Amino acid sequence: MACSGPRPRASSNDALLRMVRQRRRDTGPEMAIRRLLHARGLRYRVDAKLPGMRRRADLIFSSARVAVFIDGCFWHGCPDHGTRPKANAAWWTEKIETNVKRDRDTDRCLAADGWIVVRVWEHEVPEAAAARVAEVVSNRRIGRGCEE
């Protein structure tokens, strides 16, 4: 599911600097949620490879089989906050659509393997997102009879 053609040149030096500084992990929203989950006593693996896939999750609760993704609004096509650049518009449209398709495929593959996927948008309130993740993990542990 790669975008066709080579990556286009940055439209400006500012755009290039923004792209170079873009973090793949340990983003602000991810760190805030991780801190809150850790404060609740939950332990997890960070930026962990998913079983049987060449993909990674932001957080994994292995024994509960819960994978958490904290998705950026731009990169994952948020319906409320996602934007599309005007420069290289066709390439970016294809790139973001490919990301969304990969997300849905990851969700399907994990669900078929007995995992629960929790997707959090970067714009969500960290406390609410952490509470949602903690509830899913807790319910899953109770249902599976496991401790992590």
Check whether 13 has a pLDDT greater than 70: no
pLDDT of residue 82: 80
The three-state (H, E, C) secondary structure of the chain, written as one string = CCCCCCCCCCCCHHHHHHHHHCCCCCCHHHHHHHHHHHHCCCCCEEEEECCCCCCEEEEEECCCCEEEEEECCCCCCCCCCCCCCCCCHHHHHHHHHHHHHHHHHHHHHHHHCCCEEEEEECCCCHHHHHHHHHHHHHHHHHHHCCCC
pLDDT of residue 29: 96
Provide the percentage of residues in the chain whose pLDDT is more than 90: 65
Q: What is the mean pLDDT of residues 70-90?
A: 86
For the stretch 24-54, pLDDT in tens is 678 999 999 999 999 999 999 999 999 899 9
Instruction: Please report which confidence band the pLDDT of residue 70 belongs to, taking 50, 70 and 90 as the band edges.
Output: very high
How far is it, in rounded angstroms, from Cα 56 to Cα 48?
A: 5
CATH fold label, 38-143: Endonuclease; Chain A (3.40.960)
pLDDT of residue 36: 98
Which of the pair, 54 or 14, is modelled with greater confidence? Answer: 54
pLDDT of residue 148: 46
Q: What is the mean pLDDT of residues 69-97?
A: 87
